[in-house]
Structure 1
């Protein structure tokens, strides 16, 4: 069966999308390596960073991270059991507690950020600030366009 024809712009978008998806694997591996000395993973690091950004509910963190609430809840519960975050009352929602970092969580996150800074400085220097900022702006623009124009739901034939 022949692949459907796309415009050159459609081909460019498909290539871009595949490249971004392929980038996720090496970034996750690098994140895991940066977080491992602190006993964490990339996923745990993301939740710690979200809780550090501002006290927020698990659902708020999941939305901010673009992840499923159930997955973030599982990680948050593990982080709480390890004493890295605590749940606090939420003045705007009785049942949705707010995640806040504990002192141990702040230390773990700080240590990861120290390692990440050196790694990011090296890669940023090699790739160039201007090019990276252009790429980031394009990715942010694509995210907004996809929010406005998501892929169509499959039809039931």
Structure 2
């Protein structure tokens, strides 16, 4: 990927392009791995992602979309599928009559819990590849890049004042 000479200092524009291409590739890799990891739970990667967003607390569809950085319509479609399959349910939202909250059902939580063993195994493989400190550093750099992108493009608002990270700091497998 690096074609510059040893003394070449990449421009900001070159760095942005390299970062974007790397993240696009990484996104594809994560989606592929997530599809495989989600199978034991009878889920798809997208279903797992939406269920994972509401494991800690119920959220409105718009809040899930903001947290995940995708459209409300995409989340609505998946949320409706999850509800139809008995993996999630809509509950009243005390803060907003029309925007119901999505929360996992017992079946939804059980589906996510079946993902825990392969999720842990894959996490251990990455940790072995990167080393424990390298893995933690990689996550910190990605979090810094996400924060910088939010700052440079206008940050999305947090759905409920909660931690904007996809897992909210929860060690359970709420997404790859």
TM-score by structure 2 length? Answer: 0.77
For 2:170, the equivalent position in structure 1 comes to none
CA distance in 1 between partners of 2:133 and 2:110 (Å): 32
Distance apart, 1:7 and its partner CA: 4.9
Match of 1:10 among 13, 26, 47: 13
Structure 2 residues without counterparts, runs of 5 or longer: 1-8, 155-176
Aligned residues: 146
1:63-99: CA deviation from partner (whole Å, max 9, x where unpaired): 1111111000000000000000011000000011111
Match of 1:99 among 92, 102, 116: 102
Distance apart, 1:10 and its partner CA: 3.2
Match of 1:87 among 90, 98, 107: 90
Q: Does 1 or 2 have the higher relative contact order (CA < 8 Å, sep 6+)?
A: 2
Aligned ranges 1:6-85 → 2 under 5 Å:
7-85=10-88
| SS, match of residue 53 in structure 1 | coil
Structure label with greater radius of gyration: 1
CA distance in 2 between partners of 1:137 and 1:38 (Å): 29
Distance apart, 1:25 and its partner CA: 0.7
CA distance in 1 between partners of 2:136 and 2:19 (Å): 16
TM-score by structure 1 length? Answer: 0.86
Distance apart, 1:106 and its partner CA: 0.8
CA distance in 1 between partners of 2:44 and 2:51 (Å): 10
Structure 1 residues without counterparts, runs of 5 or longer: 1-5, 152-157
The structure whose residues are more often helix, as a share, is 1
